[in-house]
Structure formats: structure tokens, C-alpha cells
Amino acid sequence: MKRIILLLTAGALTLSAFAQKPAGNPKGGISADMLKEISGAYEGSATDKALRNALNSASINVLATSANRIAMIDTHFSDMVVTKGRTDQKSSGRCWLFTGLNVLRSRMIQKHDLGAFTFSQNYLFFYDQLEKSNLFLQGIIDTRDLPIDDRKVDWLLSHPLDDGGQFTGVSNLVMKYGVVPSEVMPETLAANSTSQMSTQIKTKLREDALALRAAKPKELQALKVAMLKEVYRMLALCLGVPPTEFTWARYNSKGEFVSENTYTPKSFYEEFVGEDLENNYIMVMNNPAVEYGKVYEIEYDRHVYDGQNWVYLNLPMDRIKEMAIASIKDNTALYFSCDVGKFLDRSRGVADLANFDYESLMGVKFGMNKKERILTHASGSTHAMTLIAVDLKEDKPVKWMVENSWGATSGYMGNIIMTDEWFNEYMFRLVVEKKYVPADIMALMQQKPILLPSWDPMFAPEE
């Protein structure tokens, strides 16, 4: 009987405490009167009803399409880099890798008079995933004395592996592992659709992280190697085993046989490309949310542990365009990244601020500028492509064109055409060969970089 009374008393206290628990601040909530005022803003007019009916059966982008932008934009360009063929990253976040290799491919085709040619993205993707796994595991070792809820540890555990990236990954991986033609290590199902493979490896890496944090210091290196062996096996099953030597037959642009030789991936790169990717380029960005003329570095934002973090020089748009135009005029493609989904008509392959009239459809105003969109996470660099053309009128750019990696039938013949106004608002980063960089900009690159944390919103991987 005493036990029952005690339980009843405890239950009563619990209910009493629950009942007395303070609710949210009534001054900050939506009161009945406030709801009445808010809901009164929707009139339910004939126009509103028509829009509701339309939105029930058609997408916002379809209904917001500007009628005066339905016709195809002028496709003439005053200056264009020679390229052949288009690539397709399919259901993967490897745009950075496709873009970097497409820049090299364009140069190789011109230099050696080749027909259509592509590098194996799958070959470098294998090593990208292996290197990123090592980067994560070593990061866990380096931070093992920090609490597991420390923000740096939490960031690592939240991002053990992904298939996105940027140009530093291309440069480090190519210089370390070389390249091979696509037919030597072709795409696989897992390479074209990375999510399931990635899920399994990430789960294993997170489990490994707990083991590393609990291990004794003298056990760490052997443990990490054993863990990477398991990652290697998973990658080999999904992507294939990377070749260490291969034979390749070379044909010229007329389809005529030229030669056949045996190469290693590194000797192939040295013979047919031979650039020092780690030292021959600079990366610039246009981010009005931080100071121009400064160099920024992002901690842990690299692909290879013993490679380089991202290092960018922040510049006004006119200086970036100056270098882009110089490179294109010299028939040299550039690595380019932007917020591709904004105001993009995918069917025509045109990015134009006037493509969609969201304000008229929704009856609201959208007024943020580029800086404000960055600060509020409304915009950022999401996709890398290869900048190949500019149309100049009286020496001023009117529009630009990029070679995309969504297949030859996407957009405009596998490309996207961007108006110069769109370029100003949604272009973010460019990789430029040093010979196209003015001396005053090169001098700015000598600054000590300002270190930003891995979670800086402007530096999410490009997909």
C-alpha cells in the first residue's frame, strides 16, 4: 500500500511539474489575433485561385518562366576555346573532377592533334576516396584529445567522406597518381551513382573513428593502415582496381594511327600534359562578404592529407573577368564554379536573371544582393564547369559559355550560356594559369593566408 501511495505521489508531482513548466514566450508566439491578421493578407481573389490551381499541376519554374525569354539566346561568341566531346558525371558529385580533367583534356587535344578524348574520372576518383578516407582518419587521430562534441571533431564526424571537391583536389591527385585514358579504367555503376557506396564507407569510417579515439598512441598507425585496407577493398569492389601500367594506341584528329606505347599513369601524364598543376595556377574568388585583396585558406578543406588546403585570393569581379578573357583569347579553358541552379533554364542551357519572374508569380519582392545572399546561406558555389567562351562587344563581355558535365544532350549542346549580369551575381571562383595573371595580383598572392574554419559557408564542396 505504501508503495502505491509513493508511486501516486511521484506521479502527481510529475504532472504538477509538467503543468507548471513555463511555455514559450507568449510575446514571441503567433497569437490568435496575430494569426487572424496574417491570414487576412491572403485575399483568395480570382487571381489567387487561378494561381493556386496552376501551382497544383505545374512547377514554380514552369509558371514563373518569362514569356519574353522563351526564344533561344544568341549563340554567337567572339572568342571560344577549341574543345571536343562532352562528359557526364551522372548521379555523382564529381563536377570538380570532370571540370579539372576537361581543362587538361582541351589542352592535350590541341597540343597533340587528337580526336575526341577523355581522361578516366573513375581512376582519380578511386584515389580521391582513398585519400579522403585517410584525411578523415588522420584528422581523428590529430584531434583525439579534444572532446567528441568539440566543433572540429563534430565537423569531421559529420563529413567523413564525400564525392564533392575543388581544383586543389585535382592538382594534388594528378601530380601524385597521374592520369589514364577513360578506356583504361572506365566508369562503373558505383562511380556514376555514388550514394550507396559512400554510405557504406562513411559508416565504416565513423566506426573506425571511435576505435582510433579509444586506442593507445602506439597502436594508431597500425590501426589506421588496417582501416584503409578495408576502405581499399570496398573501393576496388565498387570502382575496380586502378592500373599501374597500360598500353594505349594514339590516333590523330583525322582518325589515323600514330603510335602505341606502354605507360604508367604518371609517365602518361608527363608525356601528354606535363604541367605542374600545384604551382602553375592561382585560385581567385568573388565574395563580397569578405574583404577584397586578401588571401584566404580553409582548414581541412583538401583532398590529400599531405597536400594543400584551398587558398584563394578574393577579388572584385572586373579583375576576375580580365584574367578570364585573357585566357580564353589564348585558347585556354579555365576551371570555373558558380551557383548553377539560380535562374537556370536547363532545357535551353541558359542562365539569365530574367529567365524567371518569381516576384510576379508569388506576389513578393526578393531584394538581397550577392553579399547578403552569401551571409544568409541563400547562395554559394555549388557546381564546377569549364569556362570556354566569352562574347565581347566593344571590349565588354555580354555573355559567357561553360562546358558542363551533364552529358552532350543537356542544355545547349552540353554547354550553359550565361549572361554577363548573371555572371556577376552567381559566379564565385576561377582557377587561372599564372601567365594570365597581372603582376599586381600575383603580388597579392604573397600574403599570409587568413585561416578560415572548415565549416565556413562559402567553401562547401562543389558537386
Residues that are catalytic = 95, 383, 404
Q: What's the gap between Cα 174 and its chain centre?
A: 18
Cα Rg of the chain, angstroms: 27
Q: Is 122 in contact with 239 (CB distance < 8 Å)? A: yes
DSSP 316-369: -HHHHHHHHHHHHHTT--EEEEE-TTTTEETTTTEE-TTSB-HHHHHT------
- DSSP assignment of 400-450 equals EEEE-SB-TTSTBTTEEEEEHHHHHHHEEEEEEEGGGS-HHHHHHTTSPPE
Name the DSSP letter for residue 174: H
Question: Which residue's entry shows cell 529567365?
Answer: 355
H/E stretch holding 257: strand 257-263
Host H or E run for residue 386 = strand 383-393
Q: Considering Cα of 190, then 194, then 200, then 205, what sign does the dihedral take?
A: positive
Burial 433-459 (b: 16+ CB within 10 A, else e): beebbeeebeebbeeebeebebbbebb
Q: Cα separation of 166 and 355, whole Å?
A: 28
Report the alpha-carbon distance of residue 193 to residue 197 in Å, rounded.
8
CA dist., res. 296 & res. 131, Å (int): 23
**H-run or E-run covering 197:** helix 195-214
Distances (CA, A) of 391 to 81, 174, 296, 403, 418: 12, 32, 31, 15, 10
CA distance 143 to 138: 9
25-28 long-range contacts (CB < 8 A, ≥24 apart) are none
SS3 462: strand
